[in-house]
């Protein structure tokens, strides 16, 4: 018997409090929906299966040029791969949920984020993107609740939680406030702020889909779960506004790309990929093929298969297995199979029957539902519907804030999100921490990144800093004291790395490239005598300029910045 205070019980108390505050009642007047266990099980299985169908259909458009016409099935190569495999292939879009489900079975329906982190460790999870950095953090001894934080995970703003909160919605149908609370808490294992918000919003859409059948009303209601300052909410409200004003889906998708794709340039960034899912929901008219095709065609170099899976899973929650084309489902032979996830061999090879997976999910879901006020009467489940959306407190972070952990005496301006280790290969850098090293890349390539502070100097002041660039990359360091430039130097990372096993037109895995580049990094010590400004209050500015002649731009690396 557990002695810890139950996580879901805490959520239930919190949500009940929120409803009382909003003037809603939890007594006999509360609206309920009644699901039969058979209907609940069917929708759960459909939600698992919808991901498989949408991802396998869109695999060839993931981080690549978009589709240009509607597709109705799998490519010949993909279909052959499924048939040879004997079932759906293992992919991170559902494997992480499968491991989390095993965690709920191990730790109980009230599994905490720290327990989820241990589950990740036990399964050696973390192949790409934010998941890779979660694994690195866990291996260093950090807890699951710390592993997704920006100071520990440079991909905190990407799609990890956005693609994996389907499981939480399966556990909490028609209880979107509960779904949101679970997704924020457990999403911190590999995400924060935008990254976590994406999972919250998608999970809420799926939970609400158990009772709301109008996709447009669904979006209008679900978006209220996020604070008005949240980029995901602003993106969805833009889609809703454009849709209601008569814009086409193409015009709306273009607007999402131009506003949010520039801000978050990584192809696996959460906000703009959720935006394309939102476009597909609004303009897809609840039709499976129409909706996923909008997602595949919405933008070049996006996480197209994942955003299609988001909308497909929402439709599956809404309508169950009848939402999915039977001919696309049957090819999976009712199974998920595989021994590898990308380049990593799985500790526990997968050979999972979808009926068994759905039944296991329902067992945990019934426990969650009962703990939060649902009643099970024989084959019927009476669920108190949470129709009044509780807006979560804002969770925000910007790359400019990294100096608070690196060197709090200094401030940072114009740092960009970038894409450090995910999506398209060879993309521009990003701003993040790596131990005592600050990596920067500008949001605005014209004005660059600025590190600065105002201080009163002593009798014999000196500025010291060590800087570096990646092999094959260059940037220019300029240092100003007040209005005078006192130093300028090209920071050259030297010859580019050689990759003899990779074709010239291809790129290595970003994670491997970063590790090899870090090992080859050459630090340049900079020391500037500031005695000409002794005992004066001065403003010191250090600039990273990436637009240098005959140079390939890249990250600036900084360490040991002091003035004494």
- Assign residue 431 the CATH number of its domain: 2.60.120
How many angstroms separate the CA atoms of 385 and 414, rounded?
44
How many angstroms separate the CA atoms of 27 and 34, rounded?
16
- Asked if residue 376 and residue 249 are part of one domain, the reply reads yes
How many angstroms separate the CA atoms of 131 and 99, rounded?
13
What pLDDT sits at residue 377? 96
Residue 213: which region, alpha, beta or left (left: phi > 0; alpha: psi -120 to 50)? alpha
What pLDDT sits at residue 161? 94
What pLDDT sits at residue 427? 57
pTM (two decimals) = 0.92
What pLDDT sits at residue 425? 57
Q: Is residue 393 part of a domain?
A: no
How many angstroms separate the CA atoms of 429 and 72, rounded?
37
Q: Is residue 391 part of a domain?
A: no
What pLDDT sits at residue 428? 59
Longest dimension (CA), the chain: 85
Residue where a domain terminates, one of 384, 418, 447:
384
196 near 225, Cβ under 8 Å?
Answer: no
> What is the chain's pLDDT, residue by residue, as a tens digit (564 residues)?
344 444 444 444 444 444 333 333 333 447 999 999 999 999 999 999 999 999 999 999 998 999 999 999 999 999 999 999 999 999 988 999 999 999 999 999 999 999 999 999 999 998 888 999 999 999 999 999 999 999 999 999 999 999 999 999 999 999 999 999 999 999 999 999 999 999 999 999 999 999 999 999 999 999 999 999 999 999 999 999 999 999 999 999 999 999 999 899 888 999 999 999 999 999 999 999 999 999 999 999 999 999 999 999 999 999 999 999 999 999 999 999 999 988 889 998 999 999 999 999 999 999 999 999 999 999 999 999 999 999 999 999 999 999 999 999 999 999 999 866 544 555 557 899 999 999 999 999 899 999 999 999 999 999 999 999 999 999 999 999 999 999 999 999 999 889 898 888 787 777 778 888 999 999 999 999 999 999 999 999 999 999 998 888 889 999 999 998
How many angstroms separate the CA atoms of 269 and 163, rounded?
12
- Asked if residue 13 and residue 124 are part of one domain, the reply reads yes
Q: Is residue 60 part of a domain?
A: yes
Residue 505: which region, alpha, beta or left (left: phi > 0; alpha: psi -120 to 50)? alpha
How many angstroms separate the CA atoms of 175 and 220, rounded?
16
Tokens describing residue 22: 């909003």
What pLDDT sits at residue 424? 54
- Asked if residue 418 and residue 350 are part of one domain, the reply reads no
How many angstroms separate the CA atoms of 258 and 275, rounded?
11
- Asked if residue 126 and residue 230 are part of one domain, the reply reads yes
Q: Is residue 527 part of a domain?
A: yes
Q: Into how many domains does the chain fold?
A: 2
What pLDDT sits at residue 81? 95
Tokens describing residue 338: 């595989």
- Asked if residue 340 and residue 299 are part of one domain, the reply reads yes
How many angstroms separate the CA atoms of 532 and 370, rounded?
73
Q: Is residue 1 part of a domain?
A: no
SS3 210: coil
- Asked if residue 215 and residue 191 are part of one domain, the reply reads yes
Residue where a domain terminates, one of 384, 416, 444:
384
Q: Is residue 424 part of a domain?
A: yes
The whole domain housing 254 covers 7-384
51 near 93, Cβ under 8 Å?
Answer: yes
Angle CA 439–441–444, to nearest 5: 155
SS3 157: coil
- Asked if residue 366 and residue 445 are part of one domain, the reply reads no
Distances (CA, A) of 322 to 173, 272, 305, 316: 18, 29, 21, 8
For 297, phi and psi rounded to 5 degrees?
-100, -5
What pLDDT sits at residue 15? 44
SS3 338: strand
What pLDDT sits at residue 464? 98
- Asked if residue 336 and residue 443 are part of one domain, the reply reads no
- Asked if residue 452 and residue 346 are part of one domain, the reply reads no
How many angstroms separate the CA atoms of 247 and 394, rounded?
30
Q: Is residue 371 part of a domain?
A: yes
Instruction: Name 4's Cβ contacts closer than 8 Å, sequence gap at least 6.
Output: 110, 112
- Asked if residue 295 and residue 189 are part of one domain, the reply reads yes
- CA-wise closest residue to 40 among 374, 498, 532: 374
A 10 A CB-CB count for 64 gives 15
- Asked if residue 500 and residue 379 are part of one domain, the reply reads no
Residue where a domain terminates, one of 326, 357, 384:
384
Q: Is residue 394 part of a domain?
A: no
Tokens describing residue 387: 């129709």
- Asked if residue 293 and residue 356 are part of one domain, the reply reads yes
Tokens describing residue 385: 């519907």
């Amino acid at each position: 018997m557990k002695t810890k205070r139950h996580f879901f019980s805490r959520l239930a108390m919190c949500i009940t409090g929120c409803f009382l505050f909003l003037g809603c009642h939890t007594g006999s007047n509360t609206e309920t929906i009644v699901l039969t266990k058979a209907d609940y099980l069917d929708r759960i299985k459909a939600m698992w299966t919808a991901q498989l169908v949408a991802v396998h259909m869109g695999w060839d458009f993931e981080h690549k040029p978009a589709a240009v016409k509607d597709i109705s099935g799998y490519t010949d190569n993909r279909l052959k791969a499924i048939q040879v495999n004997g079932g759906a292939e293992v992919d991170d879009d559902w494997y992480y949920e499968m491991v989390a489900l095993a965690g709920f079975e191990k730790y109980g329906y009230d599994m905490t984020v720290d327990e989820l982190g241990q589950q990740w460790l036990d399964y050696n999870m973390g192949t790409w993107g934010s998941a890779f950095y979660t694994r690195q953090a866990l291996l260093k001894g950090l807890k699951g609740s710390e592993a997704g934080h920006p100071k520990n995970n440079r991909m905190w703003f990407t799609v990890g939680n956005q693609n994996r909160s389907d499981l939480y919605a399966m556990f909490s149908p028609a209880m979107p406030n509960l779904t949101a609370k679970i997704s924020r808490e457990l999403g911190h294992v590999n995400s924060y702020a935008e990254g976590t918000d994406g999972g919250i919003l998608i999970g809420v859409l799926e939970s609400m889909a158990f009772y709301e059948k109008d996709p447009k009303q669904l979006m209008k209601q679900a978006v209220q779960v996020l604070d008005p300052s949240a980029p995901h909410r602003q993106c969805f409200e833009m889609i809703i506004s454009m849709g209601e004003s008569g814009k086409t889906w193409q015009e709306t998708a273009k607007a999402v790309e131009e506003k949010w794709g520039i801000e978050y340039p990584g192809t696996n960034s959460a906000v703009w990929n959720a935006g394309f899912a939102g476009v597909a929901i609004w303009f897809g008219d609840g039709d499976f093929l129409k909706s996923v095709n909008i997602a595949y065609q919405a933008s070049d170099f996006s996480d197209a298969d994942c955003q299609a899976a988001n909308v497909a899973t929402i439709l599956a929650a809404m309508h169950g297995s009848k939402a999915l084309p039977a001919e696309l489902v049957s090819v999976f032979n009712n199974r998920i199979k595989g021994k590898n996830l990308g380049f990593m061999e799985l500790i526990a090879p997968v050979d999972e029957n979808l009926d068994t997976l759905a039944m296991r999910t329902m067992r945990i879901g019934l426990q969650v539902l009962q703990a939060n006020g649902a009643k099970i009467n024989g084959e019927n489940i009476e669920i108190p519907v949470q129709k009044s959306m509780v807006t979560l407190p804002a969770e925000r972070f910007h790359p400019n804030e990294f100096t608070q952990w690196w060197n709090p005496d200094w401030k940072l301006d114009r740092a960009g999100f970038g894409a450090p280790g995910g999506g398209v290969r060879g993309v521009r850098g990003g701003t993040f921490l790596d131990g005592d090293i600050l990596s920067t890349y500008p949001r605005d390539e014209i004005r660059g990144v600025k590190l600065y502070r105002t201080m009163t100097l002593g009798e014999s002041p000196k500025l010291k800093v060590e800087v570096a660039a990646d092999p094959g990359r260059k940037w220019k360091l300029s240092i100003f004291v007040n209005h005078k430039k006192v130093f300028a130097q090209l920071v050259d990372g030297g010859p580019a790395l050689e990759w003899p096993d990779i074709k010239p037109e291809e790129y290595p895995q970003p994670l491997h490239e970063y590790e090899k580049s870090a090992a080859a990094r050459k630090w340049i010590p900079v020391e500037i005598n500031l005695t000409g400004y002794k005992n004066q209050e001065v403003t010191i500015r250090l600039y990273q300029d990436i637009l240098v002649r005959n140079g390939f731009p890249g990250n600036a690396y900084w360490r040991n910045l002091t003035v004494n």
